Amino acid sequence: MSIAIMTSGGDAAGMNPAVKRFVDYSLQKGLKPYLIYDGLVGLLDGKIVEADKHAVSGILFRGGTVLRSSRSQRFREPEYRQKAYEELEKRGITKLIVVGGDGSFNAARVMCHEADIAVAGIPATIDNDIPCTDYCLGVDTALNVIREAIDGIRDTAASFRRTFVIETMGRDCGYLAAMSALTSGAEVCLIPEVPYDMNGITARLNAEITAGRLYSIAVVAEGVLEGRKLAEVLERETGMEARLTILGHIQRGGSPTVIDRRLAFEFAHTAVDALLDGEKSFVTVTKSLEVGIKNIDEVLSTKHVLDPYICKMVSTLCH
């Protein structure tokens, strides 16, 4: 039996461990594993290669995705999707694992509905915005990258009596910013899910500065307010010099943490087993550290909501 894996959408640490476990476990189960390079574009163009253990040797500790990724406008057209199905059919591939986010899962669902292909989604996005799962691949690594950056910034902030604004990724989901602010002891945090009161924030900071505060750290998700604007407001209203650090794509990189490696292994293992058990269309998920599966239609029809407890904890930093 032939089975394939691809990575799609934004890269995330943990993708490579998932690919490695997929190949190793597929071979262990007597399957013929294939690797699809360059995401949906590679699927359309037939960049599909049979894999052995050597193909995934030495990738466990690497960030990003050795399979590379892409986004494809061509895949939106039925005639091109038919070509993708033909590429899979000629290799006897009837089961496919897609590692990515909701856009990638939508593509996977279309393939399952249009062709005789069983699809499994493995959630991988540093935004942690896939419904029905507590964690996605790449989140823990990204949080550790941000933590290290903030810890370093705090040293220079204290040395020069400055406010530092750190802008994280998270256009529609504030998980990275919220968890980074809470675990780094930031004084301010702005996320899409919680309304903020700038007058309240500046009044609080001014009171703390009067009481002896020498510096402050503010974390803002990119989807709420430009970090530059927040820095300007804080400097103007508190009189403390402000500097901005935009972390950008550094948050996607880095060697996967132990948590991301473990989760990648469990997701890949679970996906292969479920496909062999006859499941046709699902996403691997984890709840309270237990890994399972959810129907892909249920996942894609559910609106992601940031944990209310996290919102409650971070609300004191928004006012």
Active site residues: 127
Say how many residues make up the chain: 319
Report how far residue 304's alpha carbon sits from residue 75's, in angstroms, rounded to the nearest whole number.
25
Matching residue, tokens 């996403």: 283
Which two structure tokens, joined as six digits, stand for 112? 């399952």
What residue spans of the chain are helical by DSSP H? Answer: 15-28, 39-44, 78-89, 102-114, 139-160, 175-184, 198-210, 227-238, 258-276, 296-301, 308-315
Could you give the strand order of the β-sheet that contains 188-190, starting from the edge strand earlier in sequence?
Answer: 188-190, 216-221, 163-168, 242-246
Residue 289, sorted as left (phi over 0), alpha (psi -120 to 50) or beta, turns out to be: left
Q: Is residue 48 within 8 Å of 40, Cβ to Cβ?
A: no
Q: What residues contact 267, with CB distance under 8 A and at least 6 apart?
A: 18, 122, 123, 137, 284, 286, 291
At 264, give phi and psi (nearest 5°): -60, -45
Burial class (CB in 10 A: 0-12, 13-18, 19+), 90: exposed
